[in-house]
Amino acid sequence: HERMAQRMVTFWLGTKTTLEGRNMIIFEGDFVRLWHNFNGSNYAWLRVVRIEPYDLCVLSNGATVCASDQYISEAKSADEFINGR
């Protein structure tokens, strides 16, 4: 079987108070924390279930957010999350 290409988005992840930050690439299956988690704790890590057109991330809590530092406060690859890095 031919494997489908994994979808990804890129954006600049800074902070709400400074322009310091880093360029982020998020893939389906990665984990993110939100500034304001719509359905739970802001400390919860949510899996990116699907990436849709216009850089929209569908999350494991049912929320859909734009891949932007206005919504996403932290991001980890699936490997970083699973192995505790």
Quote the pLDDT of residue 11: 62
Q: For the segment 18-67, what is each residue's pLDDT rounded down to a tens digit?
A: 445 566 778 899 999 998 877 777 788 999 999 988 888 999 988 899 88
* Helix, strand, coil percentages in the chain from 3-state DSSP, rounded to 5: 5, 40, 55
Q: Is the pLDDT of residue 70 over 70?
A: yes
The number of CA neighbours under 13 Å toward the Cβ of 13 is: 19
Torsion of CA 26, 60, 36, 51, to 10 degrees: 40
Model pTM above 0.85: no
The predicted structure's pLDDT at residue 36: 81
* pLDDT tens readout for residues 4-29: 556 766 666 555 444 455 667 788 99
